[in-house]
A and B are shown apart, each in its own frame.
Chain A
Amino acid sequence: MVQQKRILYEHLDVPNINTFDVYRQHDGYKRFEKAIAEYQPDDVSKMVMDSGLKGRGGAGFSTGLKWSFVPKDIEPRYLCCNADESEPGTFSNRYVLEKNPHLLIEGILICCYAMGIETTYVYIRGEFTLGKKMLDAALEEAYEQGYLGENIKDSGINVNIYSHPGAGAYICGEETGLIESLEGKRGQPRNKPPFPAVEGVFMKPTVVQNVETLCNLPFIVDKGVEWYTEMGPIYGDARFDPPKPDPNTGTKLYCISGDVNEPGVYELELGLTCSELIEVAGGLRGEEVKAVIPGGSSAPILTHYELDTRLDFTSLTLAKSMLGSGGIIVMNETRNIVDCLLNIMKFYAHESCGQCTPCRWGTPWVRDIVQRIADGEGRQEKITRPKFGIAEGGRWGDTGETEEIYEDLDLLESVANNIANVDTMTWNTICVFGIAVSWPAVSYMRKFRPEFEATIREGKLTTLSVEEATVPPEENYAFQQRIIPKEMSELG
């Protein structure tokens, strides 16, 4: 049985850890003091780079690399903490904000010290009223205690933190949408490049980091890179010769919900498999696992055949899904996948910001198609189209055969793929919201096609048994095309 590895959450349950005094008793701000006493800013950046810390917000981009893109000669630079945690199935940042806000402040201080930043904005999801209250109280205490403001503890460092509530838009969790919203504009993502590291808040260089990412910094500084890199696998990117290290180090706050006995946030080392995780969360509630959403509702779904997938950034990407925000939703045999998809599509159709064409009009279209199928009004007509599967040479591709498919399912797949393509992993939209819509839609439809077909055929929502509902592994596009990454130690 895998044990939790509580680092960020170590003192989460200590009573009154949200107050400065209690936090201080538990090494609070000592790691920041260590950073300014023992390291130069560049040393801290290098430690973060060497630790292999990847952004915990969803994209999994290397934090150290992101920091290295920030031009050091442009003033002012900003840090923007993304606390707009709105991905369905994700609730880890919320605990930090509500229970241990000083940890976030310490993380921000270390980041500001490393990057020479004096102004930080914490963009908090509008619905987190308690979280904002707790953070604001903690900020006030930190100012009183001299850990924020001008010339912190006589070190010559100035850091000011402003908390800013969102107004309830999912898209403002996207880093550039967040920046636009913070600037007082309509929350619509910007085109990239330029990335926020070059032109962010008020068109100045900006580091945008998730709460969880920032909370990792005190521990990296305190316990060192070696300690940190011992947690989690370090893969090798075999496209390069010699293989390029691809670290998935550290712990992750997995938010496990759905059909498990003990849902909640679990802090675990990266690289556990899906099955192990379900065990950690008290085991499955029900008879069988039907499906698992591995990274918030925007991630492509995993079938019970894919439960051996390791839940880290690299493995899931190569399995044609994503770790995203680490919101894991487990579904048992009673769940209807069409209904699940409808639920998710309703959310995304409502949350599309409407800036770019494919998402603005494609997302509601996908929702309408799923709605029609779920209502039992899916069209009975079938069309013939080329069949994809295991083609010559054992690789996934056009088999040269044809297959019959319900027109609506073909339409659903095609419309979703036109927003963002699951096969090529590309998107036609400005931001990755397009992926959040289309990848689930296509993956649910393809991996649980029998259930969709039964629903259309029967003219009502029809739940099949797990075996019947899931396409066999040899017809599962993701299972067939997935690559299981090798760790550096295996590659030699």
Chain B
Amino acid sequence: MAFIKLNDLEIEVEDGTNIVEAARQNGIEVPHYCYHPGLTRPANCRMCLIETYGTPPGAPPGTIAPDRQLATGCTTTVRTAPPERKYEEKFDAIIRTDSPRVVKAREDILEFLLVHHPLDCPVCDQAGECDLQDFSHRHGRDKSRYVEVKNVPPKKDLGPDVLLYSTRCIVCTRCVRFCQEVSGTGELGLINRGSHDEIDIPRSHEGNPIQVLDNKLAGNVVDICPVGALISKDFLFKSRPWFMDKEDSICTGCSVGCNITVEYKEDGVYRVKPRFHEDINQHWMCDDGRLGYHYVNRDDRLQLPLKKVDDEQTTTQWADAINTIKEKLGEVEAEDIVVIGSAQGTNEDNYVLQQFAHDVLNTTQLGLFGQLPGEEHKYPQFTIESDKNPNTAGARTILGSANGNVVLEGEDLWQKVASAKVVYLVSGVPDRKLQDEEKAALENVEFLIVQDVLPSEITELADVVLPGTTFAEKDGTFTNSTGWVQRIRKTVDPPGEAQVDWQITQQLAKQLGSEINYSFAGEISIAISENVQGYEEATHQNIGDAGVKLA
């Protein structure tokens, strides 16, 4: 640990920490644009200038004075110095981020940054979460002295989801470095020179794109753009950032379990952004996950229970649907029932389902259902996994946690389903296509109960359809492929009369005389921690924002 004097604070930081981070850890803001903790540091924005102290040449030992040149905070790192090189006999470095020179330098740099920047904040998507706005407000001049003509480079379409408003660009090159270092695809680069620098994709002489920004991580360049230059087409002009509420959650696109922030209003989810997790996704997420939230807002979401009457599905009341199921379950033997949990469902959903199957229906035959495997994509610093479910590992463990439970998957499961009389299938998988053997098996079932969020091939076959909820509408936990248990949180309300999945299962259990009675998801997590091996630490209280890694 290095012991440094930062302004008037005397603080300890890890060896090798740069000053921007050291200051951030201690509540001091060092404004910066080009520096991003997940990328290399070119120090080209010159915004994070700081004042370092040292002994001037020729001065007697022990003299401490500001160095002649200001240094960039992002590239200045501190290290433990040998005793004879310590300042005032204890400090490894002395740094000021608030000296008059630094304050003036920031003001000067900001003036340069705003020379060609348009004053279009009122129509800019970034307004409200824009570093240029914020730092100008806190560190900038009150008016511009620039009276010459501004550069007006063109607006560009870079790829499927990314637009570039070149006028707003401050050429920090975060996006260029991202495409080189993290995605390794290198679509973006700088063209022209000097004040005519522009970000662009490779183009022919006629200006036609040769390569577009269409790698699966492309959306991240929008997040890391400190100004409104790179804009997501998906979010363009949809909302001002300050009107949206935010909640931390986990991406459901694959089994990586990227940490995300869901931004939403009363009428639905507006966008999803990655959230830092050192061991899982660092600062990034893929576009499949980023744009995968749309099904939550769809108009055709299941809102009321459906019941098949004379081969025709009609809407019905919850009480009627549950009564119908209760009657049917009473008619069959336990071994003719198959209960299938979902890899898209939370650990809590699956735990209650497992309890319902084991304790109420007395069946040990469980199945695991989920999205079909997709493609795996490997990038230099990021991997998108082929398992497109967020909770395969968790659902598998939890469904099989009770004595004697067998969790069937794949062919075994569909063979079993084909011979069953009643199947209770919890799906919640958006746009799941059924394969032939799956369809044949489900068609064979005498009485099929499907709990789902969207109408699909599966709900079409069902005798009773129960409207469930998506990740955005419930609390719970997911276990990712590397054993991290992480929290998802409720953002928007479920549509219509749709209910949280474990509550539906609990209602069924109660109707069948069970005493299962949880009042919130956290309570279930305590039950899981008590009863499921490996999940001892995984209560909501322990998980918090950081997650818990299974032993």
Q: Which residues of A contact B (CB under 8 A)?
A: 169, 186, 191, 237, 239-241, 244, 349-358, 360-365, 368-369, 372, 411, 414-415, 418, 424-430
Contact = CB atoms under 8 A, between A and B. Distances in A.
Interface residues of B, number: 36
B58 A372 contact: no
B527 interface: no
A369 B193 CA distance: 20
A357 B69 contact: no
B108 A354 contact: no
Nearest to A356: B44
A426 B101 CA distance: 11
A237 B59 CA distance: 12
A357 B68 contact: no
Given A357-B46, A418-B112, A430-B44, A186 B194 contact: no
B113 A361 contact: yes
B116 interface: yes
Interface in B148-199: 148-149, 170-171, 190, 192-197
Nearest to A239: B58
Given A351-B194, A358-B112, 11 more contacts: A240-B58, A354-B192, A355-B42, A356-B46, A357-B44, A358-B108, A360-B171, A365-B115, A372-B148, A428-B105, A429-B46
B329 interface: no
Contacts of A186: 190
B68 A424 contact: yes
Most buried by A among B46, B47, B72, B145: B46
A371 to B, nearest CB: 9
A365 B146 contact: yes
Given A418-B112, A428-B108, A355 B44 contact: yes
Nearest to A358: B112
Interface in B104-128: 105, 108-109, 111-113, 115-116
- Which of A241, A411, A418 counts the most B-chain CB atoms under 10 A from its CB? A418
Contact of A362 (B75, B112, B192): B112
Contacts, number: 96
B146 A352 contact: no
23 contacts: A191-B42, A239-B57, A244-B58, A352-B194, A353-B193, A353-B194, A354-B195, A356-B43, A357-B170, A357-B171, A358-B109, A360-B197, A361-B112, A364-B194, A365-B112, A365-B115, A368-B148, A369-B148, A426-B68, A426-B70, A428-B109, A429-B46, A430-B43
Contacts of A191: 41-43, 72, 75
A415 B111 CA distance: 9
Contacts of A430: 43-44, 46
B45 interface: yes
Contacts of B44: 355-357, 430
A350 B171 CA distance: 17
Contacts of A424: 68
Nearest to B104: A418
Interface in B220-262: none
B93 interface: no
A336 B211 CA distance: 50
A106 B333 CA distance: 98
Contacts of B105: 428
Nearest to B59: A239
B194 A350 contact: yes
Interface in B81-120: 105, 108-109, 111-113, 115-116
A215 B47 CA distance: 41
B453 interface: no
A361 B195 contact: yes
Nearest to B113: A357
Contacts of A411: 145
A352 B193 contact: yes
B286 interface: no
Contact of B46 (A358, A365, A372, A414): A358
